[in-house]
Amino acid sequence: MEVILEDIGRRFNRDWVFRHLNYRFTTGRRYAILGPNGSGKSTLLQIIASSLTPSSGQIRYVSGEQHIDPERVYQYIALAAPYMELIEEFTLTEQVRFHFTHKKYLHGFDEQRVTDLLGLRHAENKQIRYFSSGMKQRVKLALACCAEAPILLLDEPATNLDHDGVDWYLHLVDKTSADRMLLVCSNQEREYGFCEYTIGIPAYKA
């Protein structure tokens, strides 16, 4: 699968966040989208996820010979980001079951294995509202990484994770990212050190 950006730009009011971005993302490769806070990393990721439209240029999604309508691209994407919310009233078990009524499990995973991977078996019947910020971040990452989707998008994945949590995240990515297109938005090398390709958003400032 490929995601092709053709002269992409995005502005808010009169201010351009970035312009004239041309890039081709390909399945099986790991990409880091880099830049300081406020540089437009998350904006670009949301454009790729088709939750934002570009102000200029176009984006194309291609699977084999098939061109995918942007309105359907959500079926091909798994996303974890700090601005995404879990359902606070759900228990962990309910959250996992709800998520995977909308997404298929990645090959080799099921409800029990996801819970075991999280290391939160003791909290499976606890409401998400009572989880720490680090526990919530682990849940977001596991739900995205363990879902069957050819495109995996991770925005600031180590947010709220301690040292052990970062090690857990790196292990999770290693176990689940093979043969997928992986994009990581970050300004911390520990989050993206495994990526082979980098895109510096400041290079595309208007």
Residue spans of the domains in the chain: they are: 2-204
Which of the four pLDDT bands, split at 50, 70 and 90, describes residue 65? confident
| 3-class DSSP assignment, residue 24 | strand
What does the block give as tokens for 70? 């942007």
The helix or strand, by DSSP H or E, that contains position 80, with its residue range, turns out to be strand 77-80
2-204: what CATH class? alpha beta
pLDDT tens digits along 89-143 = 999 999 999 999 999 999 999 999 999 999 998 999 999 999 999 999 999 999 9
With a cut of 90, say whether residue 205 has pLDDT above it.
no
Query: Which pLDDT value is given to residue 206?
Result: 65
How far, in Å, CA of 12 to CA of 132, rounded?
34
pLDDT tens digits along 18-54 = 999 999 999 999 999 999 988 999 999 999 999 999 9
Are 201 and 44 contacting, i.e. CB atoms less than 8 angstroms apart?
Answer: yes
Mean pLDDT confidence for 147-172:
96
Which of the four pLDDT bands, split at 50, 70 and 90, describes residue 176? very high
Global pTM? 0.94
Which of the four pLDDT bands, split at 50, 70 and 90, describes residue 60? very high
- Amino acid (1-letter code) at residue 35: G
Q: Mean pLDDT across the chain, nearest whole number?
A: 95
Are 59 and 24 contacting, i.e. CB atoms less than 8 angstroms apart?
Answer: no
With a cut of 80, say whether residue 79 has pLDDT above it.
yes
With a cut of 90, say whether residue 17 has pLDDT above it.
yes
With a cut of 90, say whether residue 64 has pLDDT above it.
no
With a cut of 80, say whether residue 76 has pLDDT above it.
yes
Question: How much of the chain, in percent, has pLDDT values that exceed 70?
Answer: 100
